[in-house]
Amino acid sequence: MANRQEAELKIAVWQTEPVHDPREALQALGAAAARARTAGAEVLVTPEMFLGGYNIGPARCDALAGMSGELIDGLASIARAHGLALVAGLALPSEDRPWNGVIILSAKGEELHRYHKTHLYGDVDQTQFCAGESLSGVFELNGWAVGVAICYDIEFPELARTLALRGADILLVPTANMKPFDSVATRLVPARAEENAIFVAYANYVGVEGAFHYGGLSCICGPDGSDLARASDAAPDLLVAEARRDDLARSRTLQTHQNDRRTDLY
């Protein structure tokens, strides 16, 4: 949990096409990190399974999980080189199938948190990965209380509400959402922000990967559900927006859902 109160946190969300060579993905991430830092961002969020791609098959996911130590070292080098916190999707090893994971690194390259996707979507997720066994923790990032979710996770209101009740001010969400499910980005993500009075940053792919045509529409939503930044459904983009504590306080004064819940009924 945050023990210091920074007034703003500048967030970058990177909408990009899948890159199947993880070392090439690291090179591309380094270039995106440089752009994000130039724009003043303090944290950069990538799409789901960014280091190697998402719809790639069980054998390739196993291979990527075996490389995770090397890839995390590469991420740490990028974070240190650019003075930028990173939220990066990658396969992580387990005793069975790999985890669909995300690593959060500080601007010094130190691991702050890792999370394994808990809600597996369809055959692709279920054949490639095993499900995580616990929700994200709520951890401090530059003085803000932050939680993470991965793609399908954010479609479950219980998950976002639980993290908000645990004190999260911001949810960071790597995703690989495909067409025709554009309403996730345009309706559900803003709703998760507004109903919990939190910021939500949602980083999606564009382009084609196997049978999947990714839908873009990456966004950073304010705690009133409004778009602070929104990408198109077709082109790579780097979004940057500022989370402000005064906006958080205003929304929590006007939106009283947490305090008004009837926990005696549900």
> Which pLDDT band, with edges at 50, 70 and 90, does 3 fall under?
low
Answer whether 0.85 is exceeded by the pTM. yes
Among 117, 16, 111, residue whose Cα is nearest residue 61: 117
The residue from 42, 48, 155, 242 that is catalytic is 48
61 catalytic per annotation? no
Q: What are phi and psi of 153, to 5 degrees?
A: -50, -45
221 catalytic per annotation? no
117 catalytic per annotation? yes
Residues facing 145 on adjacent strands: 140
The string of pLDDT tens digits covering residues 122-134 is 999 999 999 999 9
Residues facing 212 on adjacent strands: 209
The residue from 42, 61, 151, 155 that is catalytic is 151
Give the distance between the most distant pair of CA atoms in the chain. Answer: 53
Query: What pLDDT, on the 0 to 100 scale, is given for residue 2?
Result: 44
The residue from 42, 117, 219, 242 that is catalytic is 117
> Which pLDDT band, with edges at 50, 70 and 90, does 6 fall under?
confident
For residue 151 the two structure tokens come to 């793609």
